[in-house]
Amino acid sequence: MNSAGIINEGKETIRTSKKRVWVKWYKPTKLGKWLILFLKNPDEIPSDLAGKTIEELFELYSSSIVEVCEKYGLSPDLFHQILERQTRAVKHQS
């Protein structure tokens, strides 16, 4: 999962009263946080945490789209139009 960009990992030395111990830790990346939202029951996730995670993922995703657009000479406006169309479609379904 580390090489897939889902988690970051690290190792630290912690002193106890008698010896030093190596502790390995794992922390989800922005992509990992997004996956956690799908794996957990929505009732277990505070709405502010879900909102922040979705916002972070959208920023990551949208910056990748802009990079690809620049690389291939495409206009990012196309993706604005798609987002607006999807927003209208969802509102229409409600």
Domain count, the chain: 2
Distance CA 65, CA 79 (A): 8
Residue with tokens 């922390």: 27
Q: What pLDDT does residue 67 have?
A: 92
Q: What pLDDT does residue 40 have?
A: 87
In terms of domains, do 28 and 71 share one?
no
- Per-residue confidence band for 56, with pLDDT thresholds at 50, 70 and 90: confident
In terms of domains, do 60 and 25 share one?
no
In terms of domains, do 68 and 91 share one?
yes
Contact at 8 Å (CB) between 20 and 33?
no
pTM of the model: 0.58
Owning domain of residue 76: 46-94
In terms of domains, do 25 and 50 share one?
no
In terms of domains, do 15 and 54 share one?
no
Count the Cβ atoms, other than its own, within 10 Å of residue 60: 13
Asked whether residue 40 is domain-assigned, the answer is no
**Residues 23-37: pLDDT tens digits?**
999 999 888 888 888
